[in-house]
Structure 1
């Protein structure tokens, strides 16, 4: 019999190959804009740069603090002497590997007749296929799986959700309830909620509901209340831990709640689904998700081990509750519905039964599959490297000009974020609105102490300027899709901060 550590190592190597192939495909598609160039996607990298530079930190964040994501990216940035795009690509691979580890935890312990490692790799591969069906360059698209590859769109929260399910499954399947998994459960809930309150909606509410229903079983009657308490306690402490960080949180989750707009919310999400259905790959992705949801429901109603039924139930209950909640609260953000991308794949590991074939056939199939995945992963490396190192002459033009000028300029959020990251000193580009007010959103507010700027950067995403005085640039520097309005010796004062 193959030793356990050999199986686990083979699983991680296969997962690495799947992660490489997935990242390579996404980075070579229109979705690369979200991975490498989107304004929102810069926040973690900019925060990591601030941490490593030792500059004063006075960040204006959203309700999400990106704490695990920032810690991971900062470690990569400190350890690897690479450009930002290369770090984004490596971070995407790390995010998928972290998801594999969480899925493997949710698959349960290895035992006779079960193949949790193999099915965990299959689950990650299916998630990778879903990511490859995402073809839109827009952040507002129902292309959800590929968001896991970004540093910004809640990758750590996704991992935290699956880890939580895995810990609870292990406790439900165990013969006795020990303190260590309860502590681990509380810590994961605490950190995840502290970083992103969506964890409570994606995990705490549906999981607590399912555990309460499971307590009807005599076997779980005394165990599930303790697990619920640990989960709720961790989530509650996570919310309380956000209070000392209130100065960094410029918009709380309450600001996103608009229940009166539930009609508009239905129209919004329906339109996004309709847009996804216009692409053959989008149709394929929806069909795969639908099939996984059916499997999840079937495995919930069939008599299995309690842990197996719990994982299967979370695979469909969480997405359904999230959609109902998102509409009831009148939200308008596709990223809130990510459980529809990652939760259904858990149906594949809810009951990871080994195929009923001979041991030799199983070993041969596993070996062949592992070799094939490694070859695919190896072939994907040059393609990913090409996507991550593809030159951007327009961006380089702006960055070189700003660095050489030694002066400080300004630009609007969607325009300035990418050039800001690629400067030798990111504070040389200040984030403003169209009236030149300091725009304190996902940025270090110490940038605004400069008080005035002597040039403006604009592109097609720039809202027409409404400046406090008539401004005639001394010259306009053409940088392709960017233009630099050089004011020469003239300066413009920054307006008050807003978010």
Structure 2
């Protein structure tokens, strides 16, 4: 028993080392834009801090509610006296460690001839290598593994999908049904669907397809049918749970489905693949994914038990179904394709056999790897901290001026969200469109109760203003990439809300 705990602790320690290395590398690249500054990436921090402040809340969210992500961020914010960027960095590390926990569950129990801890670490390492090959600042690039380090781009859904695969696999490996595991599967499906309906497309559909196919040939048809019922019931309850929250869901996501544009969607994703293959790191990342897909197919054909076959088959079926579905629905968003990078990793934990080498060699190898991961993790801490603490004098200029003004101003979505999150009182900046209408998108609609503003913040992303009344600034404050148009005594009324 003691050796089991030592082995498991070593696995979690290795996962921490990998998480620190990956987070430090991504945060030190142009991809840090998505971690710390991107307008979309900041919603979880904004929402969590709004909850902790106790201010009135009437949020306009997208189809994704970010409930697990916001819970984690709020807990970190309540526990640690860190600034926003440091919290985002810590959250990135936690997201990667959480993925390891899910992979460890998928790898199954430790039995004779199996090394689930080692293979879960190998799977996480493969995922992290893919993540560090992603170097662009674009949220639209086909660089999907690094999105797991953000608080916004469905990190909790990725963990939940892998966790669901693990729960199903654990129940297939058991001789009898487990009420606890069944309940965990149902709760995971319900909470994940409630927060993000994409869970149904990423997990419920492919797992349902495989369970149904296995049930046709299996002698354990009742168990497979019961698993199927639990998964479908949990997913259905998640959709039902969204009904009372409709007031907060500004966009159900139905408008994103445009099947008539499937050809445009195919061309769009083809261009993303071409762009990904245009750099050596991109080629390396794609080759890793391709190798894992081939391994998944091979292990599906050679699997000796239902649990291994299910995991190996999901490793290639999830990406296939998601890509086909995304094109058939005419979508144009790379983030929907995340199963392309995390699902193939399941091939490594489908059959976690012990590598047949002498015990002494295996022990030495394990020790060397543990030491290297520990050293890499320790050396990555100051690098990650430096990336999080990197000075942004332009941002500081804006926040200092707004904090000192004691007044309320406005800015457009891509411009205002970063300064707004870093303010002492985020309500001092209101999110508007170019006509000064309240832009109720990923924002607290109570911000618009102020009714008027006396200054505007703009940058290169700001659409030229079309103001309801003439707004000639008394002073223009130059803050590098930002400009603050101080209107002095001139008051600009906010227009009606839109999203």
- Answer yes or no: same fold by TM over 0.5: yes
C-alpha contact (below 8 Å) 1:40/1:152 kept by paired residues: yes
> 3-state SS of the aligned residue for 1:469?
coil
* C-alpha distance in 2 between matches for 1:21 and 1:272: 27
Higher mean C-alpha displacement, 255-264 vs 139-148: 255-264
Segments of 4+ moved more than 6 angstroms:
none
Deviation string 1:4-29 (CA, Å, 9 cap, x unpaired) is 11000000000000000000000000
C-alpha contact (below 8 Å) 2:169/2:307 kept by paired residues: yes
The residue correspondences of 1:312-327 to structure 2 (distance < 5 A) are 312-327=312-327
C-alpha contact (below 8 Å) 1:91/1:149 kept by paired residues: yes
Deviation string 1:123-174 (CA, Å, 9 cap, x unpaired) is 1111000000111101001000000000000000000000000000001111
* C-alpha distance in 2 between matches for 1:219 and 1:30: 53
1:209 aligns with 2:209: yes
> Which structure 2 segments of 5+ residues have no match?
none
> 3-state SS of the aligned residue for 1:216?
helix
TM-score with structure 1 setting the length: 0.99
The residue correspondences of 1:348-387 to structure 2 (distance < 5 A) are 348-387=348-387
Deviation at 1:472, TM superposition (A): 1.1
* C-alpha distance in 2 between matches for 1:303 and 1:50: 49
* C-alpha distance in 2 between matches for 1:8 and 1:217: 35
C-alpha contact (below 8 Å) 1:172/1:220 kept by paired residues: no
Deviation at 1:317, TM superposition (A): 0.2
> 3-state SS of the aligned residue for 2:216?
coil
Aligned partner of 1:230 in structure 2 is 230
Cα root mean square deviation, aligned: 0.9
* C-alpha distance in 2 between matches for 1:331 and 1:338: 14
* C-alpha distance in 2 between matches for 1:486 and 1:103: 53
* C-alpha distance in 1 between matches for 2:96 and 2:418: 24
1:31 aligns with 2:31: yes
* C-alpha distance in 1 between matches for 2:190 and 2:481: 44
C-alpha contact (below 8 Å) 1:92/1:148 kept by paired residues: yes
The residue correspondences of 1:480-491 to structure 2 (distance < 5 A) are 480-491=480-491
* C-alpha distance in 1 between matches for 2:369 and 2:65: 39
Aligned partner of 1:195 in structure 2 is 195
* C-alpha distance in 2 between matches for 1:17 and 1:34: 22
TM-score with structure 2 setting the length: 0.99
C-alpha contact (below 8 Å) 2:468/2:493 kept by paired residues: no
Deviation string 1:162-190 (CA, Å, 9 cap, x unpaired) is 00000000011111112211111100000
1:247 aligns with 2:247: yes
C-alpha contact (below 8 Å) 2:471/2:490 kept by paired residues: no
Deviation at 1:218, TM superposition (A): 3.1
C-alpha contact (below 8 Å) 1:326/1:336 kept by paired residues: yes
Deviation at 1:2, TM superposition (A): 7.0
Distance 1:45 1:229, change over 3 A: same
Aligned partner of 1:419 in structure 2 is 419
C-alpha contact (below 8 Å) 1:107/1:352 kept by paired residues: yes
Deviation string 1:324-377 (CA, Å, 9 cap, x unpaired) is 000111111000000001000110000011111122221221111111110011
* C-alpha distance in 1 between matches for 2:263 and 2:93: 38
1:457 aligns with 2:439: no
C-alpha contact (below 8 Å) 1:214/1:220 kept by paired residues: no
* C-alpha distance in 2 between matches for 1:462 and 1:240: 39
* C-alpha distance in 1 between matches for 2:156 and 2:207: 18
> 3-state SS of the aligned residue for 1:245?
helix
Deviation string 1:423-457 (CA, Å, 9 cap, x unpaired) is 00000000000110000000111100000000000
Aligned partner of 1:104 in structure 2 is 104
C-alpha contact (below 8 Å) 2:394/2:481 kept by paired residues: yes
Aligned partner of 2:341 in structure 1 is 341
* C-alpha distance in 1 between matches for 2:263 and 2:452: 44
* C-alpha distance in 2 between matches for 1:218 and 1:169: 15
